[in-house]
Structure 1
Amino acid sequence: MERLAGLACGRIRLPGGWAGDTTVRFSPDGRIEAVEPGLDPALPRADGPVIPGMPNLHSHAFQRAMAGLAERAGPAEDSFWTWRDTMYGFVRRLTPEDAQAIAALLYSEMLTQGYTAVAEFHYLHHAPDGTPYADRAEMATRIIAAADTAGIGLTLLPVLYAHGGFGGQPPADGQRRFLNTPGGLRAILDAAARAMAGRTGWRTGLALHSLRAVTADEMAAALDGLPPGTPVHIHIAEQTAEVDACVAWSGRRPVEWLLDHAPVSPDWCLVHATHMTADETAAVARCGAVAGLCPTTEANLGDGLFPAPAFLAHGGRFGIGSDSHISVSPTEDLRLLEYGQRLAARQRNVLRQPGEASIGAGLYRTALAGGTQALGRPGTPGIAAGQPADLVILNPDDPRLMGRDGDALLDAHVFAGSGHGVRGVVAAGCVVVRDGRHVRHGAIVAAYRRALERLRG
């Protein structure tokens, strides 16, 4: 991939707002070294308005290849739990080579849509019968290789998954590939950290699958000794059945129990957190954790609507993720986040941010900040010195964006229907998307096609 020394930008969205002629210089390791007024004629010129790349804070990469396979009605009422049975059947057949090919395809798609970094919530650890591979980190290193092929920034989150229900219930047969102990998870985490060392914008964190899948003692053991600033992610309160089961087990709702028993802080990302009381909503906002929202997946699974207006009113932070990858578009997830609230409230422009008249710009800015935090990237979010050089060049020839400038451009990008508004993408200083196409598209798609042919066979 072509590595750039910088980019000359005619219009650019900086942390303080829109700016005219600006030069962004990159360091040799792919970080932003300086942001300066004026255009350096020695650098390539961006052929469209430049905005910061969006972090994707929640991904299960292997699920990209099953998107659309659970859209047939069953004999009884369908839900997340019936979708999960389809997922279990699919995952039994995946080889490490398949997982790598699927992840590389997914990550290249993310880049073409304007995601430039991803938090991979990685729980596909073992062979189909549940036996660890000779290298316990085999599947984790496949994710690392896929991200390297695509050129996307990676926060890898090996997942502790030990049980099939609250209180340490035995796991189901379909969960065998996911299971780990805190010690086994730490071995994967250490191996992954060694494999990722030295890459700009890459880091490891840790994930707890859910309160259904770990006991309090296992959670404490997994968190023990983690350095400050390590990202910690967990699925929480996604479905009402989960809430009811948690109450039956503990007498507490999931978010309530977690806040009482875990050191939840700004290092944490609570994924979904769909079903919270008013008190829980305010408490999560106060502790500074990021709510990891995945509107297209949550809609696809029929989960419900996150209490976004109340959460934001308390100063809550959120980011977005594509989760099961029924969609791999940051603008579609931001649009659906707002539209769900409009349908519930029966009014327009619901998620207005303080000091922002523009809904699209406010949503983009807030999700950028929340995603940057959830991926464990310190510093000022966006196009700022010290951050990875992740820039998205919009297509001014897209009819949706023609004649738009400033925040009106972001409003159009988020809300003006389908289309392909991304012309080019730079990730960690390297050109990864040119003229709307990933620079390694052909080889990545060929490997993905081979994986699908094997799975169909």
Structure 2
Amino acid sequence: MTALFARRALLAGGWDRNTRVEMQAGSISLIETKTVAKPGDTLVDTVLPALANLHSHSFQRAMAGMTEYRMAGRDSFWTWRDLMYRFTAHLTPEQIEAIAALVFLEMQEAGYASVGEFHYLHHQKNGTPYDNLSEHSDRIMAAASQTGIGLTHLPVLYSYAGVGKRPLEQGQMRFGNDVDRFCRLVEQARGAASALPDDCRVGIAPHSLRATAPDDLAQVLLAQATQSPVHIHIAEQPKEVQEVQAGLGARPVEWLLDNAPVGRDWCLIHATHMTKAETRAMAATGAVAGLCPVTEANLGDGPFNGATYLEEGGAFGVGSDSNVLISLTEELRTLEYSQRLRDLSRNVLVHGEGSVGHALYTAAAQGGAQALGRQAGEIATGRLADLVAIDSTHPTLCALTDAQLLDGLVFAAKDQVVTDLWSAGRHCVQAGRHRARDAILTRYRTAITSLLEEIG
């Protein structure tokens, strides 16, 4: 048993003072309020439920800053994707592990206790499967073990280059599986996950309606009907919407809701380009909208239809996707600012009246936990001890009341206000620094040096 004592805590019922939280076997076993610290307790200023980073492609972190040079013509998501394919052609298993470990470390130092790794880089450089079909999944799990982050691993079914079962292009060969081989890969990954802590989950991720086909999607959902998380990219770009509508006879979200058992165990990533009717229908399913505002801005995807979605009680969480910037506070503020810029308004993403920061933070905590299949998202007994401590005496926060504190965190602070983080009770960040930072950074620098030498 370990414990923390916080001067202030955001509990399921609201703010409380002088709170002691005991953790046992990864979960919160006892909460005492208006009490005093005991010997051995970790002392913190303010403790919050830690968020889940619900959507990550960890290997893309190594590309950050490499795709911001404008070429002749108009840059778009699709030109970025071509550059990403060329980059992935060189990655080795050792480099994938080293990059993922750095990414997970950075997430924890930013205040994320867990991650949904949407993992589609499966095979050798020529597209041939490894003898160990789950080689790269095993590397992601090794990185999670090194950092202690809570992992929901999401192997991706990626079979086609476009709607109508177009054959994979050269840059996609490392991603490709048919349904049978994909199911074998998932089972191997689940076997490997048994060596990780009990909070580790393995779900599935049909990549998109472009990269799967209706019969394949139905088959894999039937084969993997285990109440595990199901994540899918949907309606990220107008070109994708047009392609799906032309090939399947309906817009992506419309088609998916009509043809798949979308419910609370689903996470629809991006869902950027929806009609109001689609937005309302998606909210009604109980599925989580997986929003990645920094990446969506970086790639020029466009803003989510947040106001309508929240009016209908829709659940959402945030993720760092391409990992061009790993910042919990930046994701939340970019989400709200995208709505303000589009609507020429302020304080958009709160239902009725109240604190926007509080509404964003607490909804993302609950929605992210739901998307990753984690019993977390609030500080309550029986929940996973996914906790983050912040320093409210920091200059950006010290003038704020309890009611204003999450507004200050979301709109004024940087992630440096994070002092401590627990992932299912594992105290991974202490005094703002990950406990394995030096070793992980050393391995990352070695990996990047060798990768850049190969790329030339």
Provide the secondary structure at the position in 2 that maps to 1:46. strand
Residue in 1 that maps onto 2:424 = 428
Displacement of 1:248: 1.4
Matches within 5 A, 1:49-68: 49-68=46-65
Provide the secondary structure at the position in 2 that maps to 1:180. coil
Q: 1:262 to 1:419 in 2, by over 3 A?
A: closer
CA distance, structure 2, for counterparts of residue 388 and residue 127 of structure 1: 36
Displacement of 1:322: 0.2
Residue in 2 that maps onto 1:123 = 120
Opposite residue 70 of structure 2, the aligned amino acid is A
Residue in 2 that maps onto 1:293 = 291
CA distance, structure 2, for counterparts of residue 375 and residue 418 of structure 1: 25
Q: 2:282 aligns with which of 281, 284, 306?
A: 284
CA distance, structure 1, for counterparts of residue 400 and residue 107 of structure 2: 24
8 Å Cα contact 1:200-1:428 kept in structure 2? no
CA distance, structure 2, for counterparts of residue 454 and residue 225 of structure 1: 40
Matches within 5 A, 1:58-457: 58-197=55-194, 199-354=197-352, 357-378=354-375, 381-418=377-414, 420-457=416-453
CA distance, structure 2, for counterparts of residue 52 and residue 46 of structure 1: 16
Structure 2, unpaired ranges of 5+: none
8 Å Cα contact 2:422-2:428 kept in structure 1? yes
Opposite residue 116 of structure 1, the aligned amino acid is A
Displacement of 1:182: 1.5
CA distance, structure 2, for counterparts of residue 23 and residue 418 of structure 1: 26
Displacement of 1:232: 0.3
Displacement of 1:387: 2.1
CA distance, structure 2, for counterparts of residue 353 and residue 50 of structure 1: 25
- Once superposed, what is the RMSD of the aligned Cα atoms? 1.4
Provide the secondary structure at the position in 2 that maps to 1:58. strand
Provide the secondary structure at the position in 1 that maps to 2:52. strand
Structure 1, unpaired ranges of 5+: none
Opposite residue 246 of structure 2, the aligned amino acid is A
CA distance, structure 2, for counterparts of residue 419 and residue 401 of structure 1: 12
TM-score normalised per structure 1: 0.96
CA distance, structure 2, for counterparts of residue 429 and residue 293 of structure 1: 26
Q: 1:334 to 1:165 in 2, by over 3 A?
A: same
CA distance, structure 1, for counterparts of residue 140 and residue 371 of structure 2: 19
> Which 10-residue stretch deviates more, 294-303 or 196-205?
196-205
Provide the secondary structure at the position in 2 that maps to 1:49. strand
Displacement of 1:268: 0.5
The number of residue pairs the alignment matches comes to 451
Displacement of 1:403: 3.1
- Percent identity over the alignment is 49
CA distance, structure 1, for counterparts of residue 12 and residue 198 of structure 2: 21
TM-score normalised per structure 2: 0.96
8 Å Cα contact 2:161-2:168 kept in structure 1? yes
Opposite residue 218 of structure 1, the aligned amino acid is D
